[in-house]
């Protein structure tokens, strides 16, 4: 990419960030009418890649004269908005159906992230694009919750045993139903062992807040403090900031609705205690800088790590905006990034072998029937092909000496190393 293209790309990124603020930055409002058709197309494509096209369309419509652009200029954004509205309505119907079925079995669930944010935080559910519904259950009720999902026609992507999976992962495999818009991801905990929200379901449920935005069917969500920490942990430790702009919009909208009542001392205390302070600091700082989120400077000062964050912030911006066309499903995981960063084919093959042939305990977790040699063999056979399908293009690129892939791997590993100092 030439220097001129880099400057232009950076300017378009800045313009998008300024447009997503509430209200949009004055500099953006002044510049937008000067954009030519190709400029609008670039802005639209960038918003699409970042998963905020519908939100951008709404912000532009609210900006007065900017919203009166010709249909050709913002047709793709308008189409994204209409499609997001249809998807959001369908997802709300799914959530209502599931919550009513769970209530019929006296099973409580806490709705995580997108499904709650879309219904109770954003001005319109169409503004928060999402692909799945994350539900947190008491581990003891997960088997019954699985029965409810299967009774509604949902099936998991692979066989598993609930008790065994919870020993190695925080959530079960995704559940799909033919014709359904969103998948369902049942969780038994939030975060990884030793790094997440340091509370079991009972404690989180005590702090949870009810909302009745889904057709009058009562459901629960994490309290604002816990949700803010969960969003920060998910984007930082969970994805090394390789997840687009949605998380920062989420933080800004959450604080717009709950900011005045939010107990920042609890946010700081829980972040420190649960060893997610660095990721929380970076997420809140970027939300403040990019989206003008109402994050108190005092909270940032309390969370700021001893080592200056300035060295890692450019890496994070590059992580957010680079190669945004890939979906999270094909994202560069930390494990894969470390493998690509490891010098020497033999060392890489060893890491690959260790990644495929996981501990027997993990393999047994995904055998629904009584496990045996045949079951273990079947699991590993499926795992090999699953990993090749998911990460094959990345490995092929590495073997070709793909420079951009090498940079992505180096960046992901650097961010993960910085976060690990917590």
Question: In the structure encoding, which two tokens stand for residue 394, read together?
Answer: 């990345």
Query: Do residues 402 and 354 both lie within one domain?
Result: yes
Query: How many domains are there within the chain?
Result: 4
Strand partners, 156: 175
Together in a domain, 313 and 342: no
Mean pLDDT score, 51-56: 93
Q: Are residues 129 and 191 in the same domain?
A: yes
- The domain boundary, picked from 69, 95, 126, lies at 69
Q: What is the pLDDT of residues 292-314, one digit of tens each?
A: 999 999 999 999 998 778 889 99
CA gap 369, 365 in Å, rounded: 10
**Quick check: is 211 in a domain?**
yes
Q: Output the six-digit token pair for 250.
A: 């989420």
pTM recorded for the entire structure: 0.83
Same domain, 62 and 108: no
178 lies in the same domain as 279? no
Measured from the Cβ of residue 42, the count of other Cβ atoms closer than 10 Å reads 18
User: Domain range spanning residue 294?
Assistant: 237-326
Distance CA 57, CA 48 (A): 11
- Indicate if the pLDDT at residue 97 is higher than 70: yes
Other CB atoms within a 10 A radius of the CB of residue 386 amount to 13
153 and 192 both lie in a single domain: yes
Is 320 inside a domain boundary? yes
Give 194 or 411, the one with higher predicted confidence: 411
Residue at a domain's end among 306, 326, 346: 326
Average model confidence (pLDDT) across the chain: 81
Same domain for 165 and 190: yes
Together in a domain, 157 and 207: yes
Q: Which among 326, 348, 370 is the end of a domain? A: 326
Are residues 60 and 196 located together in one domain of the fold? no
Condensed to tens digits (0 to 9), the pLDDT of residues 225-248 reads 999 999 999 999 988 898 899 999
H helices of 234-372, in order, are: 246-258, 264-273, 277-291, 297-303, 313-321, 334-341, 345-356, 360-365
In a domain, 276, yes or no: yes
In a domain, 229, yes or no: no
Based on the domain organization, do 120 and 155 belong to the same domain? yes
Helix (H, G, I), strand (E, B) or coil at 148: helix
């Amino acid at each position: 990419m030439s220097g001129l293209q880099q400057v232009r790309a950076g300017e378009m990124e800045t313009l998008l960030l300024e447009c997503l603020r509430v209200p949009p930055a004055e500099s953006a409002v002044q510049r937008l009418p000067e954009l030519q058709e190709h400029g609008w197309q670039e802005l639209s494509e960038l918003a699409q890649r970042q998963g905020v096209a519908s939100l951008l369309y709404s912000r532009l419509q609210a900006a007065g004269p900017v919203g009166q652009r010709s249909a050709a200029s913002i047709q793709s954004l308008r189409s994204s908005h209409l499609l997001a509205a249809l998807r959001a309505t369908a997802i709300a119907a799914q959530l209502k159906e599931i919550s009513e079925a769970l209530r019929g079995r006296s099973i409580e669930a806490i709705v995580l992230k997108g499904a709650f944010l879309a219904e109770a935080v954003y001005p319109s559910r169409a503004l928060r694009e999402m692909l799945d519904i994350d539900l947190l259950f008491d581990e003891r009720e997960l088997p019954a919750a699985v029965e409810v999902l299967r009774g509604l026609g949902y099936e998991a992507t692979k066989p598993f045993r609930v008790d065994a999976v919870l020993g190695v992962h925080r959530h079960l495999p995704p559940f799909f139903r033919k014709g359904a818009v969103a998948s369902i991801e049942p969780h038994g905990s939030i975060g990884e062992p030793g790094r997440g929200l340091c509370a079991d379901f009972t404690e989180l449920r005590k702090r949870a807040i009810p909302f009745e935005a889904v057709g009058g069917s009562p459901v629960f969500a994490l309290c604002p403090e816990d949700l803010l920490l969960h969003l920060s942990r998910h984007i930082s430790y969970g994805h090394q900031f390789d997840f687009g702009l949605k998380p920062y919009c989420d933080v800004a909208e959450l604080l717009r609705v709950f900011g005045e009542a939010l107990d920042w001392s609890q946010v700081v205390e829980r972040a420190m205690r649960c060893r997610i302070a660095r990721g929380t600091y970076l997420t809140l700082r970027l939300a403040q800088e990019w989206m003008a989120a109402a994050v108190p400077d005092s909270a940032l000062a309390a969370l700021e790590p001893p080592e200056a964050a300035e060295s890692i912030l450019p890496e994070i911006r590059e992580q957010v905006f680079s190669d945004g066309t890939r979906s999270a499903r094909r994202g560069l995981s930390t494990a894969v990034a470390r493998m690509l960063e490891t010098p020497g084919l033999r060392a890489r093959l060893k890491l690959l072998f260790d990644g495929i042939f996981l501990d027997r305990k993990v393999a047994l977790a995904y055998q629904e029937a009584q496990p045996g040699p045949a079951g273990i063999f079947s699991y590993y056979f499926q795992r090999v092909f699953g990993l090749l399908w998911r990460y094959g293009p990345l490995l092929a690129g590495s073997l070709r000496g793909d420079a951009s892939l090498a940079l992505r791997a180096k960046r992901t590993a650097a961010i993960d190393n910085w976060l690990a100092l917590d």
